[in-house]
Structure 1
């Protein structure tokens, strides 16, 4: 049983990560700026100041009970999938929680928590671990991610269609990277991995899909 005091932290996470709320009639330009803020490091300082301790607790498993509700599961996915990338940017810890976030997302796709999300942008955040977590089934998961984003785009308000179709395209670019290398080469130096010649050539181009959250 989750009481109101226990639920407050995940409400704070969702209010922070989705300042536009969940109402469908949002301004497209403002919404796009929120996406850039979320995914291009604009939230780093605030995450460090407000959520460092909370993220540490989540990493220890102390917040696993959040996942009993759709909104709590989404908040925990955000904390494990996104907040480490801000707190520990440029270190292996930035990616260490990807498997845990993936497990939460996959379970939520099966138990109805994904479908229960109140807005397209909540569903996009819910499924980001499918593309982030490396592993032998990575390509299969990205194919699923693309299909899910196509569904989100189709259900989105007309004014938001360009944004969500761009996120479909971005997932397609990530798919091409994983199909070629079976991993995210931009993490190699951080994780102490030796890059292949093909990866070195790709890295030299500097065209990283993860740095272009919104395609032109």
Structure 2
């Protein structure tokens, strides 16, 4: 049986009405940036079973997956949210939180080739671009800053401040990769030996981004 991603379920859960008004955006944003155990549990219960079949599908290993690169922009966005956002909720503070990043970045590459940012709302583009912020590759980080700068230029009220905040985070993520070449807060769960500078950074309230 060919895998079918529940696109509407993912997008409706994640965005709600956030693309429609400032009030709706304000109501939805805590789901994205505050979360908590209850949010993690809900996402795990609703979407946790998708990771294995979705990984097989978007890596080309399962039946019918040879055509996923022709998917709609909505499907590509939903897949990125699964691999890049829900993974961090479902597997928080474990190595699996980052295990699906490679799928997210590959899907983003396809979305950029298809010019998906041109047909998505700026709030949706924030999460379309998020795999770039999560990458430990400096070239990807530079691209992340560039696309958020471009997104800010074309965003209008009442969504400007949300995009501006995302650009600030893109700059912060790039600065960390420029400094350390990786995200120090991932070292423990990925069984990487921390350098002295990384340990000092983490001990001095270095950013952990909820992980």
Bucket of the pairwise TM-score, normalised by the shorter protein: 0.7 to 0.9
Asked if the contact 2:117/2:125 (under 8 Å) is kept, the reply is yes
C-alpha change, 1:178 and 1:33, in structure 2 (3 Å) is farther
- Whether contact under 8 Å (2:132, 2:144) holds in the other structure is yes
Q: C-alpha deviations, 1:49-87, integer Å up to 9, x for none? A: 111112332123259555511100111111111111111
Residues 1:33 and 1:170: Cα distance change in structure 2 (over 3 Å): farther
What does residue range 13-162 of structure 1 map to in structure 2 within 5 Å?
13-23=10-20, 26-27=21-22, 30-42=24-36, 43-61=39-57, 67=69, 68-117=71-120, 119-134=121-136, 138-162=137-161
Secondary structure in structure 2 of the residue aligned to 1:108 = helix
Shift, 1:121, TM fit: 1.1
TM-score scaled by length of structure 2: 0.85
With normalisation by structure 1, the TM-score equals: 0.83
The one-character-per-residue Cα deviations of 1:134-158 (angstroms, maximum 9, x if unpaired) are 3xxx212111111211222222222
- The alignment partner of 2:209 has SS state of helix
Q: Which runs of 5+ in 2 are unaligned?
A: none
Partner of 1:189: 188
RMSD, aligned α-carbons? 2.3
Q: Distance in 1 between matches of 2:147 and 2:160?
A: 14
Is the contact between residue 47 and residue 83 of structure 1 (CA under 8 Å) also seen in structure 2? yes
User: Hey, what's the Cα distance between the residues in 1 that align with 2:122 and 2:208?
Assistant: 21
Alignment partners' CA distance in 1, 2:202 and 2:27: 27
**Secondary structure in structure 1 of the residue aligned to 2:158:** helix
SS of 1:193's partner is coil
Count of residue pairs brought into register by the alignment: 200
